[in-house]
Amino acid sequence: MKAYVFPGQASQFEGMGKDMYEENALAKDLFEQANDILGFRITDVMFEGTSEDLRQTKITQPAVFLHSVIKAKMAGDHFQADAVAGHSLGEFSALVASGAMNFEDGLRLVNQRAMAMQKACEAVEGTMAAIIAMPDEEVEKICEAIDEVVVAANYNCPGQLVISGSVPGIHAAVEQLKEAGAKRAIVLPVGGAFHSPLMQPAKDELEQAIAATNFSTPSCPIYQNVSASPEQDPEKIQANLIMQLTSPVRWTQTMLNMIENGVTEFIEVGGNGKVLQGFVKKVDRRFPTSAL
């Protein structure tokens, strides 16, 4: 069984999508549709912009989404998934690639998500930190004891858990986790506390847009971040997507559940093609991985 997995932010790179645009008529058409929907030429930034340009939230999220979704659509009949999943932002790519949402609605939601998250970041200062080589349960316990907003945000793979919260809370957690034996605890260069309660204003704003979007039954189960479980019921998919911004990304649990349910091969779609493959190898090295 094949699972196609879709990366989130931090998988962007300079020149992303330029070769697709120049060599494939379908890709060119979809990129031009995206320019019209967004109201600016995101292709100019994707193809010619600097890494700094690509780091702007309003650019990063739609750029990564477009790169993944258009790559999946270019594959045509060769895109034969038994399951899909996407890491954070990548969940929107997975939903479109599996037919749960159409391309236009997916892009509009991703654009609204980026804007809403940017606003939430500006309203309340927050940050994130990567904790390396410490059991998840120990990280959770220390975070819970801190008198600030500090929560587990991304269960990326065994031995790598990203925490999210207020700036003083994260700095306190980093010091305590180092003292408790974490191999590394590194504050990340991000603009806000993603997948934490501090994203509540963004969730409230995005909820209306998601609720007004039409969802269909996907062509295969989608393992969602909130539950790490396979879903095909459009109403359940919609409800889980609404909760995503303030809930943790249960990626380790998603990979384990996919393997338990018979997935034997993982194909990363879009971005630099390396991040999620690396996470799979940390979960279980036995399974082949590749990039589409």
Residues serving a catalytic function are: 88, 195
Q: Quick check: 113 and 247 in contact, CB under 8 A?
A: no
* Of 233, 174, 169, nearest in space to 196 by CA: 169
Three-class SS of 186-242: EECCCCCCCCCHHHHHHHHHHHHHHHCCCCCCCCCCEECCCCCCEECCHHHHHHHHH
Pairing of strands 222-223, 230-231: antiparallel
Rounded Cα distance, 66 and 108, in Å: 11
Residues counted in the chain: 292
E strand or H helix at 263: none
How far apart are the C-alpha atoms of 60 and 101, rounded to whole Å?
20
Coil, strand or helix: which one is 164? strand
Q: Which of 11, 22, 7, 20 is nearest to 51 (CA)?
A: 11
Structure token digits, residue 279: 């996470």
